[in-house]
Chain A
Amino acid sequence: MSYIKKSPWLVHYDGSSCNGCDIEVLACLTPLYDVERFGIVNTGNPKHADIFLVTGGVNNQNLPVVRQIYEQIPDPKVVIAVGACACTGGVFHDCYNMIGGMDKAIPVDVYVPGCAARPEAIIDGVVKGLAVLEEKQKALAVPVRDSRALRESELEPGVAINQSQEAGK
Chain B
Amino acid sequence: MSEMVINIISGIAYLILAPVMGGLLAGIDRKISARMQRRVGPPVLQPFYDVFKLLEKQTVAVNETQSFYIFGFLLFVILSGLFFFAGGDMLLVIFTLTLASVCFIVAAFSSNSPYSQIGAERELVQTMSYEPMLLLVAMGFYLHCGTFSIEGILQSSRMNFIYMPGIFIGLSYILLIKFRKSPFDLSASHEAHQELIQGILTEYSGRTLAMIEVAHWYENVFLLGFVYLFFAWSAPWSPVLGLLMCALAYFGDIVVDNCCSRVKWEHMLASTWLVTLVAGFANIVFLMYVK
Contact = CB atoms under 8 A, between A and B. Distances in A.
Do any beta carbons of A and B sit within 8 angstroms of each other in the complex? yes
A44 interface: yes
A86 B112 CA distance: 33
B38 A44 contact: no
Interface string A22-38: 00000000010010111
A34 B34 contact: yes
Interface of B: 30, 34, 37-43, 46, 49-50, 52-53, 56-60, 190, 193-194, 197-198, 201-206, 209
Nearest to B30: A36
B50 A39 contact: yes
B118 to A, nearest CB: 14
Interface of A: 2-4, 6-7, 9, 31, 34, 36-39, 41-45, 47-48, 50, 72-76, 137, 140-141
Contact of B58 (A7, A9, A42, A75): A75
A73 B202 CA distance: 12
Contacts of A39: 42-43, 46, 49-50
A71 B49 CA distance: 24
Contacts of B37: 31
Question: Taking chain B's interface residues, is the majority helix, strand, or loop, or is none over half, making it mixed?
Answer: loop
B193 A2 contact: no
A38 B49 CA distance: 11
A45 B204 CA distance: 10
B49 A140 contact: no
B67 to A, nearest CB: 13
A37 B204 contact: no
Contact of A45 (B56, B193, B206): B193
Nearest to A71: B60
A62 B37 CA distance: 36
Contact of B197 (A4, A45, A50, A140): A45
A140 B49 CA distance: 19
29 contacts: A3-B49, A4-B56, A6-B46, A6-B49, A7-B49, A7-B50, A9-B50, A31-B39, A34-B41, A36-B40, A36-B41, A37-B34, A38-B42, A39-B46, A39-B49, A41-B190, A42-B193, A44-B194, A45-B197, A47-B202, A48-B201, A48-B204, A73-B60, A74-B57, A74-B58, A74-B59, A75-B57, A75-B58, A140-B58
